[in-house]
Amino acid sequence: MSASDNSLGSLLGGSLRLPGNTGRTRRFSPGEVLFSAGEPGDGFYLIESGRVQIFAAVGTGDPRLLATLGPGDTVGEMAVLDDAPRSATARAETATETRHMGRDELLQLLEQQPGLALILIREFSNRMRVLNAKYVDEVVQAERLAVVGRFAGSIVHDFKNPLAVIGLAAELACSDHTSVPMRHKAQNRIAQQVDRMTNMLQELIEFTKPSGQRPNLRPVDFSRYMVPLAEEIRQELAERRVIVMLENAPPAVDVRVDPKRLSRLFHNLLNNAVDEMSAGGKILLRFQQTAAELRVDIEDTGRGIAPEIAAALFTPFATHGKAHGTGLGLTICKKIIEDHGGKIWAAPGEPGKGATFSFTLPVGT
């Protein structure tokens, strides 16, 4: 961004100087700050030599470099004119010499030279276009990095439980004192968890592709599907001092599902409940059947749903007060259920008395 012959900087450096102390010389060493974001806009600078970098915060992250200005450029004039705090920080990149002009001096100059107002407007417009484009680029880049970090956190969180099961089962299978039946059982558990992790990765891939393939739904007897799945989850969560109970028997009714994806939904919902019960607790599963749909309720004895997050439960990365997790699991749950033609919702319950997640599946082949 270099000044043109008709820019404010070039005119101030030429014949439009005011008498007196207007344009006091100020020198800055490399790395020295001219002004900081949030400070009063008491004046602006005309750069005569050197370079000045402009930094501004992007979101909640660290300040990022938005522009580098050189001889003939002005810096800090926006805050002077709108009488607002500085929106950015200016720092000398190299040894820099400037002339400083205060607000009253600039207003006096504009009064004596009304034509400068048009030059100011033109310069502000050009400056804002450049800075806005740079700011948008930085925001997009910061958000991309944040999303990558959130996805990585989600993967680590979701893989933690299967890896723990694999570790225990591998230790049991390799022990010299383990019977052959127990060794086979451990091997089966390892295979189940590896399959589950593969399915989880596929879900994350599908989540990033809105045009992903539709699920492969097929008729399944819900009772035959649910009973072994509940037993698998019961054994897994027992190691975390959580009891899984079926209030009533799963109905022997046909539903069209993708068994692997629906299993992911149950694992997500129950493990989310466990995250709210660090000291242990209970999870109750209820099943209700009508002519058109099957409803499943998953009720826990945890801390309930925080009011701050209740309205955004199923949006990506929504989370509150959890050491791990991003909320992506519930977003995937919503996508799974909608792909099955059902609905999912949550009832926060009384504070400190748990929460209930419910979903429906269409009945029939």
- Encoding tokens for residue 362? 């269409």
CB atoms within 10 A of CB 302: 23
- 80, burial (CB in 10 Å: exposed 0-12, middle 13-18, buried 19+): buried
How far is the C-alpha of 113 from the C-alpha of 11, rounded, in Å? 11
Residue labelled with tokens 């086979």: 184
* Region of 62 on the Ramachandran plot (φ > 0 left; ψ -120 to 50 alpha; else beta): beta
Residues 197 and 161 sit within 8 Å (Cβ to Cβ): no
AA letter at 217? L
- The domain spans of the chain are 8-114, 151-207, 218-362
8-114: CATH topology is Jelly Rolls (2.60.120)
| Exposure on the CB side of residue 135, measured as CA atoms within 13 A | 14
Residue 346's SS3 state is: strand
Please state which of the four CATH numbers 3.40.50.150, 3.30.1960.10, 3.40.50.720, 3.30.565.10 is assigned to the domain occupying 218-362.
3.30.565.10
pTM (2 decimals)? 0.50
User: Over 24-69, what HEC string results?
Assistant: EEEEECCCCEEECCCCCCCEEEEEEECCEEEEEECCCCCEEEEEEE
Residue 44 DSSP one-character state: E
Q: Going residue by residue through the chain (365 aa), what tens digit of pLDDT does each one get?
A: 444 444 455 555 444 444 444 568 899 999 999 999 888 887 888 888 999 998 887 666 678 788 888 888 888 877 766 677 888 899 999 999 998 888 777 777 777 777 666 666 666 666 666 666 665 665 555 655 565 566 666 667 677 778 888 888 888 888 888 888 888 888 888 888 887 787 667 666 666 655 445 678 999 999 999 999 999 999 888 888 999 999 999 999 999 999 988 998 998 899 888 888 878 899 999 999 999 999 999 999 888 887 767 777 877 666 555 544 445 678 888 988 998 999 999 886 666 678 899 999 999 76
Element (H, E) at 254: strand 254-257
